C-alpha cells in the first residue's frame, strides 16, 4: 500500500492509500465511525462503514483515545464539505500506540496548564498554524537577505561583554576566565562582519534577563540583525521598510490557510507597504501630548505610549532620533543635535509595539571611547570592537528584528509565549 501524507491526498483521488498520524478527533453514529487524523501536514476525516471492515477493527475506531498514534488505509474521495476537501473511505485501521486520557481535551484549559503541557499543546491546530507561520517567516527573512547579497554570519552566544546594557545580562561561570555572558545581541560581531563582507546578517537566539513580566518580553528570543557598511540612518530605514513589507506580504500570500485557522483579520497587514511614515522622537512626543499623556521629554516610550503613537498610522511607523541617554552606547550622535542618537525604532500597528530597533553606529574612535566611559563599561573587553574604528572605519548601520514579536503581530497573538516553541520567561523555564 502506498504510504502518503495528508498534504498530497489530491494526487491520489480514487486510489487506496495508507496514512500515518494521530487521532485528532472521533465520533460515531450507528453503523458509521468517523476518525479525524492529523499528520502534521494536514487533517483528514476517515469514514468507516460497518460492512467495509471486520468487526474488531470497526469497534477499535470507537475505542482508541485522542492522540493515539494510528495507521489508516482507505480510498481517497474528493469531498468539498470535509476538512481539507478530501475524505478517506476507510478499509483498515491499525493502532501503533493507544493513548489514554490525553490531558488536552477540546474543552477550554487555563494558560498555565497549557504552558505546563507545551510539549503536547504544540499539537493543537492553532499552535501548528503558528509554528508553520514562524517557519515561513524565518525562510522569508533568509530569502530577503540572501537575494540582496548579504552573507549570513553566526555570532557567538557566550560573550565576554554586554551589548544592550548591563541590567539584563545572564552570567555564567566560564572555566579559569571568570564569567561569560549569554549574548543580548549579535550586533557587535555583525559590525566586524560588515567590515569584512560589506553586508551581513545574523540570525540566532539572544538572551535578556528581563525582570519585566509583560506580553512582549521573553528571556530567550530570536533576533535577525543586518549590518551594512557605508550605510547611514536613512539607508537603514529604507532597508527596514523594504524588509518588513517583504516578510508580511510573503506570509499573506503563502500562509493564507494558517492565518484563517488563527482567525486573523488581515486588513491591517495588507497595508504593510512602503513607504512607512517616518517621524522624529520629538514628533512622537507631540503626539503623546495631544493625546493627554503626561510624558517628559528624554524618557523612553512605554508599551502604552507606543500604542498611542502607532494608532495614528495605518502601517508600521519609524520613530527616529531618540535622546541619546536612553539608547545604547554604540549609537552615533546626530551631528545636528548631539543630544540625539541616530536611532530608529519601528513600531508595529495594532498595539504590537517595537519590533525593530536599529541605528547608525558611532564610527569615530574617540567618540566611542567616551561613550564606553559614560556608560561605565570596562574598556578592555571592547578592545577588539574598538579596532574596527582603528582600522578602516566607515559609516555603517544596522538593526535588529525580534522574531517572536513579528510572529505574534502577524498571527494576531496576544502574548509572545505562543510564538516560540518553548517559551522562556521570568517565571518559566519548563518544559
Query: Binding to ligand 4AD by residue 404, rule CB under 6 A?
Result: yes
- The span from the CA of 226 to the CA of 400, in Å, is 7
Q: 111 to 170, contacts with ligand 4AD by CB under 6 A? A: 163-164
Q: Residues 38, 208, 255, 417: which binds ligand 4AD (CB under 6 A)?
A: 208
Helix axes 125-146, 233-254, angle to 10 degrees: 140
Place of cell 499623556: 293
Calpha distance 428→431 (Å, rounded): 8
CA separation for the pair 324, 377 (Å, rounded) = 16
| DSSP-based three-state secondary structure for 338 | strand
Interface residue with ligand 4AD among 185, 310, 360, 408 (CB under 6 A) is: 185
**163 touches, from ligand 4AD, Mg ion, none (C-beta below 5 to 8 Å by class):** ligand 4AD
Q: Which of residues 52-91 bind ligand 4AD (CB under 6 A)?
A: none
What Cα–Cα distance (Å) separates residue 284 from each residue in 135, 141, 301?
A: 34, 29, 9
**382 touches ligand 4AD by CB under 6 A:** no
Q: SS3 of 278, please?
A: strand
Q: How far is the CB of 126 from Mg ion (least distance, A)?
A: 29
> What is the greatest pairwise CA distance in the chain?
86
Q: Which is nearer to ligand 4AD, 78 or 171 (CB)?
A: 171
Looking at residue 294, what DSSP letter applies? -
Q: Which does 402 bind (CB under 5 to 8 A by kind): ligand 4AD, Mg ion, none?
A: ligand 4AD
187 binds, among ligand 4AD, Mg ion, none (CB under 5 to 8 A by kind): ligand 4AD
Closest distance of CB 276 from ligand 4AD, Å: 15
**In whole angstroms, what is the distance from residue 342 CA to residue 323 CA?**
9
Q: Which is nearer to ligand 4AD, 5 or 415 (CB)?
A: 415
Residue nearest to Mg ion (CB): 357
Buried b (16+ CB within 10 A) or exposed e, 363-385: beeeebeebbeeeebeeeebeeb
Among 183, 187, 393, 419, binds ligand 4AD (CB under 6 A): 187
* Nearest distance from C-beta of residue 387 to ligand 4AD, angstroms: 19
Classified as helix, coil or strand, 274 is: coil
Count of residues of this chain found to bind Mg ion when the rule CB under 5 A is applied = 1
Chain centroid, CA 222 distance in Å: 7
Tell me: does residue 357 bind Mg ion (CB under 5 A).
yes
Under the binding rule (CB under 6 A), the answer on residue 217 touching ligand 4AD is yes
User: Quick one: what does residue 400 bind among Mg ion, ligand 4AD, none, with the CB cut-off 5 to 8 Å set by partner type?
Assistant: ligand 4AD
Out of Mg ion, ligand 4AD, none, what residue 397 binds, judged by CB under 5 to 8 A for its kind, is none
Q: Candidates 37-45, 217-225, 271-279, 310-318: pick the segment binding ligand 4AD (CB under 6 A).
A: 217-225
Select from ligand 4AD, Mg ion, none the partner in contact with residue 208, using the beta carbon and a kind-dependent cut-off of 5 to 8 Å. ligand 4AD
Q: How large is the C-alpha radius of gyration of the chain?
A: 26
C-alpha cell at 20: 500515518
At 56 the three-state DSSP class reads helix
Separation CA 208–CA 221 (nearest Å): 8
Interaction residues for ligand 4AD, span 298-357 (CB under 6 A): 354-357
Cell numbers at 113, concatenated? 496548564
Backbone angles phi, psi at 91, to 5 degrees: -120, -15
- The interface partner of residue 423, options being ligand 4AD, Mg ion, none and the CB cut-off 5 to 8 Å by kind, is none
> Which partner from the list ligand 4AD, Mg ion, none does 405 bind, CB cut-off 5 to 8 Å by kind?
ligand 4AD
- The residue ranges that bind Mg ion (CB under 5 A) are 357
- The residue ranges that bind ligand 4AD (CB under 6 A) are 163-164, 185, 187, 208, 210, 217-218, 221, 223, 225, 354-359, 398-400, 402, 404-405, 416
Amino acid at each position: 500500500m502506498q504510504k502518503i501524507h495528508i498534504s498530497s491526498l489530491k494526487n491520489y483521488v480514487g486510489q487506496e492509500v495508507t496514512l500515518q498520524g494521530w487521532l485528532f478527533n472521533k465520533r460515531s453514529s450507528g453503523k458509521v465511525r468517523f476518525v479525524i487524523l492529523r499528520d502534521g501536514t494536514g487533517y483528514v476525516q476517515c469514514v468507516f462503514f460497518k460492512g467495509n471492515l471486520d468487526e474488531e477493527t470497526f469497534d477499535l475506531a470507537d475505542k482508541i483515545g485522542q492522540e493515539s498514534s494510528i495507521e489508516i488505509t482507505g480510498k481517497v474521495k474528493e469531498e468539498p464539505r470535509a476538512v481539507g476537501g478530501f475524505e478517506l473511505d476507510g478499509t483498515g485501521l491499525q493502532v501503533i500506540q493507544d493513548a489514554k486520557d490525553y490531558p488536552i481535551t477540546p474543552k477550554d484549559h487555563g494558560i498555565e496548564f497549557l504552558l505546563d503541557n507545551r510539549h503536547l499543546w504544540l499539537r493543537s491546530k492553532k499552535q501548528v498554524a503558528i509554528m508553520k507561520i514562524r517557519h515561513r517567516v524565518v525562510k522569508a527573512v533568509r530569502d530577503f537577505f540572501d537575494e540582496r547579497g548579504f552573507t549570513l554570519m553566526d555570532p557567538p552566544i557566550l560573550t565576554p561583554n554586554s551589548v544592550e546594557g548591563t541590567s539584563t545580562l545572564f552570567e555564567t561561570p566560564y572555566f579559569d576566565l571568570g564569567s561569560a555572558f549569554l549574548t543580548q545581541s549579535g550586533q557587535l560581531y555583525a559590525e566586524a562582519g560588515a567590515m569584512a563582507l560589506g553586508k551581513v546578517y545574523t540570525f540566532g537566539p539572544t538572551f535578556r534577563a528581563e525582570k519585566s513580566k509583560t506580553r512582549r518580553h521573553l528571556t530567550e528570543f530570536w533576533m535577525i540583525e543586518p549590518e551594512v557598511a557605508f550605510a547611514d540612518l536613512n539607508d537603514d530605514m529604507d532597508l527596514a521598510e523594504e524588509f518588513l513589507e517583504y516578510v508580511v506580504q510573503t506570509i499573506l500570500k503563502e500562509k493564507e490557510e494558517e492565518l484563517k485557522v488563527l482567525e486573523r483579520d488581515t486588513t491591517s497587514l495588507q497595508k504593510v507597504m512602503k513607504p512607512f511614515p517616518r517621524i522624529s522622537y520629538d514628533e512622537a512626543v507631540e503626539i503623546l501630548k495631544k493625546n493627554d499623556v503626561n510624558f517628559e521629554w528624554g524618557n523612553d516610550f512605554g508599551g502604552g505610549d507606543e500604542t498611542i503613537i502607532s494608532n495614528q498610522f495605518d502601517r508600521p511607523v519609524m520613530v527616529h532620533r531618540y535622546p541619546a541617554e536612553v539608547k545604547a552606547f554604540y549609537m552615533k550622535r546626530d551631528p545636528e543635535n548631539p543630544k540625539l542618537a541616530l536611532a530608529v525604532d519601528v513600531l508595529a500597528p495594532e498595539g504590537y509595539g517595537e519590533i525593530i530597533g536599529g541605528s547608525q553606529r558611532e564610527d569615530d574612535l574617540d567618540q566611542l571611547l567616551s561613550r564606553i566611559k559614560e556608560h561605565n563599561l570596562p574598556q578592555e573587553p571592547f578592545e577588539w570592537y574598538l579596532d574596527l574604528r582603528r582600522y578602516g572605519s566607515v559609516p555603517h548601520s544596522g538593526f535588529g528584528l525580534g522574531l517572536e514579536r513579528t510572529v505574534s503581530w502577524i498571527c494576531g497573538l496576544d502574548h509572545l509565549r505562543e510564538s516560540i516553541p518553548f517559551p522562556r520567561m521570568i517565571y518559566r523555564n519548563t518544559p
